[in-house]
Amino acid sequence: MKVRPLLLIQDDLVEYDKAMARMAEMVEQRQRDERPDTLWLLSHPQVYTVGRRTPLEHLPDPAHHIPVVETTRGGQLTYHGPGQLVGYLIVKLAQGEGVVDYIREVEFRLIEALGELGIRAERRDTPPGSELLTGVWTSATGRKIVSIGMRQSRGVTSHGFALNVDGDLAPWQWAVACGLPEVDMTSVHRESGAGTMDRVRPVVAEAFEAAL
């Protein structure tokens, strides 16, 4: 993988709409070369985010009272909540590099981080005509542990990944995650019986060569 050191920003719980506004500002700054490549680690209060292709039948039952917000990233429905580590990546792509190329790199860096946490993981290729299998799965149990959805604008990426650490997994079962009705979402805690946000954050930052 490329040597691509990132500036690290860390927050705890940030409302999704406020995070989107701040991310947009950072993207504009990166486009003007007013900031370096950046990894922003944070978590969100409970929210479902959906891409423009998300079918209505994949949405959660409103009886659960979790907001549903349309987003500009790629991919379909994703859940965010406490106990999940979200990483927004504001990165200027190299000449000839596309956002899909960078998503592959993100997958491999997260696989490396999970390996450091004692969890063997893998990415998957998408069979022709199937729903995109972007993200990371556990090798032993075949469960999905990382969701990834990104876009690029004027050569700069935005959005990023969501790694389930030790949060409640039940909300994933109340909707169709990632356009995959049979997907079994998991977490670091479920797979290893351990893993806290304090432990996971620095390992993920190190995998992305990110430093304060």
**Residue 133 pLDDT class (50, 70, 90 cuts):** confident
Q: For residue 129, is pLDDT > 70?
A: no
Per-residue pLDDT averaged across 103-132, rounded? 89
178 is an active site residue: yes
Among residues 26, 165, 177, 178, which one is catalytic? 178
Q: For residue 113, is pLDDT > 90?
A: yes
Full-model pTM: 0.95
Side-chain-side CA neighbours of 163 within 13 Å: the count stands at 29
Handedness of CA 169, 171, 173, 177 (dihedral sign): negative
Looking at residue 131, its pLDDT comes to: 62
Q: For residue 132, is pLDDT > 70?
A: no
Looking at residue 187, its pLDDT comes to: 98
Which ranges of the chain does DSSP label H, i.e. alpha helix?
16-31, 99-116, 188-192, 197-207
pLDDT higher at 89 or 57: 89
pLDDT higher at 131 or 156: 156
Q: Could you name the CATH architecture of 6-211?
A: 2-Layer Sandwich (3.30)
Mean pLDDT of all residues belonging to the chain: 93
Between 44-48, 78-82, 87-91, 179-183, the lowest mean confidence (pLDDT) is in 179-183
Structure tokens at 77: 């429905």
pLDDT tens-place string over residues 143-159? 999 999 999 999 999 99
Looking at residue 51, its pLDDT comes to: 80
Per-residue pLDDT averaged across 46-53, rounded? 89
Which ranges of 32-159 does DSSP label H, i.e. alpha helix?
99-116
Q: For residue 17, is pLDDT > 90?
A: yes
